[in-house]
Amino acid sequence: MTIRMGIYGDSIGTGWRGISDRSKRWTSITCTNLNLEEHNFSVDGLGFIRRRDTGAFLLHPLQMVIDAQPQIALIALGQNDYECIPDREDELRRVMLQDMTALRDALPESQVLVVEPYWPSTRQEPPKGRRVFDLHGACAEEAGLPFVKGQRGVFGEDYLPYLFPEEGQLHPNDEGHAVLAAVMTEALSPYVQRALERTISLPR
């Protein structure tokens, strides 16, 4: 039985720039590892506020995830909103909670999970990024959703070999996505098992 996983994410979910093939992105590897059907609606540069009102898509990615009716839905974005701190922090918190509760309420039979925002290094995170992380955790708790950790500081102190050589060096390369996939496969495995058990138990 195949479990569908929907992803509401940003460029870390698309694999922007850094990957040699779409199959190398962490979401795709994780889905292969866990025998999931991937429904990836990540958009480069997307945040809860950033690029929210854009003509880049006919439907907002959040609605695309809902329409896919996945048994597991990941909210995996947020760092693109760091520039909203501190001036628009109240708005950011409101929209975060709005999106989390919208997915929760639209997919009541699904596992909706909030993934902590990605940051490559354990020693470089700016204060604004840390604040976005804290907001994620607080909003996930308020929405009653699991907060899945593992992406913050994922490459430790020796992080450069895992990043695409660009200005600012933030996006993972193939090796980086492989590490992310290993971390997320382990983190998501219990939720996949629960989703599978729930799907099997549902009346046909």
Q: What is the mean pLDDT of residues 61-65?
A: 95
What is the DSSP secondary-structure string of 16-42? Answer: TTT-SSGGGSHHHHHHHHTTEEEEE--
- At the top level of CATH, the class of 3-201 is alpha beta
Q: What is the model's pLDDT at position 51?
A: 83
Instruction: Indicate if the pLDDT at residue 135 is higher than 70.
Output: yes
Question: What pLDDT, on the 0 to 100 scale, is given for residue 125?
Answer: 78
Residue-level pLDDT at 107? 98
The DSSP secondary structure of 44-87, one letter per residue, reads: TT--SSTTSS-TT-SS-HHHHHHHH--SEEEEE--GGGGGGTTT
What is each CA distance from 126 to 78, 85, 89, 120, in whole angstroms? 14, 11, 16, 12
The pLDDT tens digits for 105-119 are: 999 999 999 999 999
Give dist(CA 113, CA 76) in Å, integer: 9
CA distance 172 to 183: 14
